[in-house]
Amino acid sequence: MILAMRRRHLLAAGLAGLGARAARAQGAYPSRPVTMVIPWPAGGSTDTLGRVLAQVMSADLGQPIVVENRSGASGTVGHSHVARSRPDGYTIMLATNSTYAIAPHLIDLPYDNRGAFTGVSLVARYAQALCVHPSVPANNVAEFLAYIRAQPGKVAFSTAGIGASSHLATELLMAKTNTQMLHVPYRGGGPSAQALLAGEVACSFVDLITALPFRQAGQLKILGVSTLRRSEIAPEVPTLAESGVPDFESSTDCALLLPAGTPAPIVERISASLRRALTDAETRRKLISLGVEPIGSSAAEFDAYWTRELNKWGEIIRTRNIRMG
């Protein structure tokens, strides 16, 4: 009897010790540097946002967050890497809706778009601006729609490529206004904007923060912003929704994703760190100055948003018969 009791006490003590060690290991996260994968090239808007957040979150987590750019194939190269990474919280990803909501309708993915990831939060949003060349005889959305209706299929628009957010925004505009323009895809947002500035095309959706200096220089006109609310960096510019295109909404939306199976306490630690970064007054000021609208959301809110975005862009891609290549 006494021997059996001793054995039970030893077993209980051993299990308690294991539990304590596991708790300490979990509570110690992170104990080494964390990698933030950016599935786009260095120097772009998502990369800039990621580096600002990495700096603030590093201080909060007590470990460096190292930014690693893994670009290619509409962001799916980076997504594929993260999908294969260990779900231990040491690999996180700042992704955009052009990959997690648009690419699945256009590309055969080497990973499960929803099943391979744990969504942490919708992080931030970049407004796009409907821009026209100064030679276009239109100073507002209504005048521009009249201009393209007078010559259906002849007014050219540039994009960063087939399936890019600038492309899908224009397709959404045409679908909502029953208009038709000529698509001229370029290899990236920079060349697309340059084509507009050079007068090779009549219009394009350009990130608002990129378009503002060119408007000031008289090199393009901004007719409206793509988000449902006006932007803090250009409050005088009306939205497309209030300019006669009901419910128009398109933007570059960034989200924080982790490999599926990441333990819940680690997910919450990362989520809490992100929330603190996005609510920090100085960080918000810096992001807004970069043309970023800080958001932050719960995992459940992001999951519902992800579903809406997939459905929205899937319908546009199907009904507009958009194909890669």
Domain range summary for the chain, segments of one domain joined by + = 34-125+251-319, 127-243
Cis peptide before 87 (omega within 30 of 0): no
Domains 34-125+251-319 and 127-243 share a fold: yes
pLDDT of 27: 57
Fold (CATH) for 127-243? D-Maltodextrin-Binding Protein; domain 2 (3.40.190)
φ, ψ (nearest 5 deg) of residue 289? -65, -20
Query: Of 58, 61, 63, 98, which Cα lies nearest the Cα of 78?
Result: 98
Per-position pLDDT tens, the chain of length 325: 444 444 444 433 443 343 334 434 445 899 999 999 999 888 888 999 999 999 999 999 999 999 999 998 889 999 999 999 999 999 999 999 999 999 999 999 999 999 999 999 999 999 999 999 999 999 999 999 999 999 999 999 999 889 989 999 999 999 999 999 999 999 888 899 999 999 999 999 999 999 999 999 999 999 999 999 999 999 999 999 999 999 999 999 999 999 999 999 999 999 999 999 999 999 999 999 999 999 999 999 999 999 999 999 999 999 999 998 6
Model pTM score: 0.85
CA distance 86 to 32: 14
pLDDT of 324: 85
pLDDT of 74: 87
Residue 3's Cα: distance from chain center in Å? 62
CA distance 239 to 251: 12
CB atoms closer than 10 angstroms to residue 232:
12
φ, ψ (nearest 5 deg) of residue 77? -65, -45
User: What three-state secondary structure class fits 94?
Assistant: strand
pLDDT of 44: 84
pLDDT of 45: 86
Fold (CATH) for 34-125+251-319? D-Maltodextrin-Binding Protein; domain 2 (3.40.190)
Question: What does DSSP say about strands 34-38 and 65-69: parallel, antiparallel, or unpaired?
Answer: parallel
